[in-house]
Amino acid sequence: MKDIAIKENHLYQKAYRNGERANGKHVTVYILRDWGAKRQMLCNPEKKYVNRIGLSVSKKIGGAVERNRTKRIIRAGLSEARREGELKTGYLIVIAAKSGAPESNSREIASELIHAFKKLNMYKNAPKKEESDAQ
């Protein structure tokens, strides 16, 4: 299901101030219950709740080329993280890039997002953990 982009600055600010946070080496994830989700659901042709996703990449990361590349990497990592399990709907999800994000790849970002979503309890059915064969 396609997510809706967060376009309003006040929603980013609410997520930063009031949302739950999970930090990683390359990204920080903020999660906040979306109180406008019902209105979005009624506008959706499928009449389902959706998440609103926002990507935040500061100018400290670099020029426009580096920022756009970082956003592309984060989007690819997010799609890989979604394959791990189905995310709960009706939330504002803000993913803020850190300074090391442009040098990373989508697999590293995906593993951080999976860890963050597990920490924030965002998966509907908890993904199965892989058994280690260390014994």
Question: Residue 134 has what pLDDT?
Answer: 47
CA distances from 32 to 54, 59, 94, 103, 135 (A): 12, 25, 9, 28, 40
**Using an 8 Å Cβ cutoff, are 104 and 73 in contact?**
yes
Q: Is residue 15 over pLDDT 50?
A: yes
* pTM for the predicted model, two decimal places: 0.84
Band (pLDDT 50/70/90 cuts) for residue 126 is low
Q: How far apart are CA 81 and CA 83, in angstroms?
A: 5
Note the pLDDT of residue 128.
52
Q: Is 121 helix (H, G, I), strand (E, B) or coil?
A: coil
Which of 50, 100, 111 is closest to 76 using CA atoms? Answer: 111
What pLDDT digit, counting tens, does each position of 36-73 carry?
A: 777 777 777 777 788 889 999 999 998 999 999 999 99
What whole-number distance in Å separates Cα of residue 66 and Cα of residue 70? 6
Length of the chain: 135
Query: What DSSP state is assigned to residue 95?
Result: E
Q: Among all chains, which residue has been given the structure tokens 């580096």?
A: 66
